[in-house]
Amino acid sequence: MTEETVLQSKVPKAQAGQTLLDYLSNRFRYQTREAWDAIIRQGKVRVNEKAASPRQVLGKGYLVTYSVVLQEPPVDRNIRILHEEEGFLVASKPGRLPSHADGNFIKNTFIYILTETLRERGWKGEVHLVHRLDRETSGLLVVAKKPEAHLKLVRQFEGGTVEKEYLAEVDGAPTDRLVSRIRRGVELEDGLAKPTAVRVVAASGPRGALRLTMTEGRKREVRRLLAEVGLPVTRLVRLRIGPVKLGNLPPGELRELTPEEIRSLAQFTDM
């Protein structure tokens, strides 16, 4: 027998006054607006445990539930927590794991698995991504455990003050000419992409590897930048975010930050 899963969401103050259809299609974009309309009309969505319609207006704190049979592709669930404090934590996401719900991925996501892990340890609050990594990319993510921490950290990232260092393995030889072009910056459809630092760390025949430091966080920016110069990425890892480096750590284990990382992180988070 196929088992249904009930997903739920509590309406925040900012979305109060929206219709149920607007709320679901704007907040949970793994379904189209048309799909959400059909799902509501099929009776699979309820509001405060009662039958609902697409045009129902929601109030602050209303509980929206969605019954669904999940058929999610398998993922690598080995999330590694490098450091945890009262307001935030730093964790490593494996490749081929979505950061958040998208398409067929709802429970098999970084944020869902991390939340489960924290609740098994007694955490009862919500966690919020400060920034994201695409599904294929592995590496470091900062996650807020308190609303005030989320606000402060998001401001840091959106202000372009947080460095993110990547290791990119590429198809193609990273020649001096191409590296110079990357250093000057490459115009993409959403603006100039320019690393603050770039260097070749390996080159062998038709393949190579580079380390790049970026301060922006546009969608798939490193992949698009390197593809534009003829170096498509085959593997991408975020090695460092702010002062914290990935290093070597077995899955599921926590490590103590070095004194230098702790001092820098205090300035980075301003907490």
Q: In what order do the strands lie in the sheet with 5-10?
A: 5-10, 63-68, 45-47, 50-51
Cβ atoms 45, 4 nearer than 8 A: no
Unique residue bearing structure tokens 């998001």: 154
Query: Is 134 assigned a catalytic role?
Result: yes
Percent helix / strand / coil, the chain, rounded to 5: 25, 30, 45
Q: Answer yes or no: are the C-beta atoms of 195 and 180 closer than 8 Å.
A: no
Task: Provide the terminal-to-terminal Cα distance of the chain, rounded to the nearest Å.
Answer: 50
Residue 2 neighbours by CB under 8 Å, 6+ apart: 69
Catalytic residue among 134, 176, 190, 270: 134
Q: Is there a contact between 201 and 179 (Cβ–Cβ < 8 Å)? A: no
CA distances from 247 to 23, 35, 85, 134 (A): 40, 43, 19, 20
Strands (E), the chain: 5-10, 45-47, 50-51, 63-68, 80-84, 88-93, 128-129, 138-144, 164-171, 186-188, 191-193, 197-204, 207-214, 233-241, 244-245
The alpha carbons of the chain give a radius of gyration, in whole angstroms, of 21
User: Are 126 and 12 contacting, i.e. CB atoms less than 8 angstroms apart?
Assistant: no
Catalytic residue set = 134
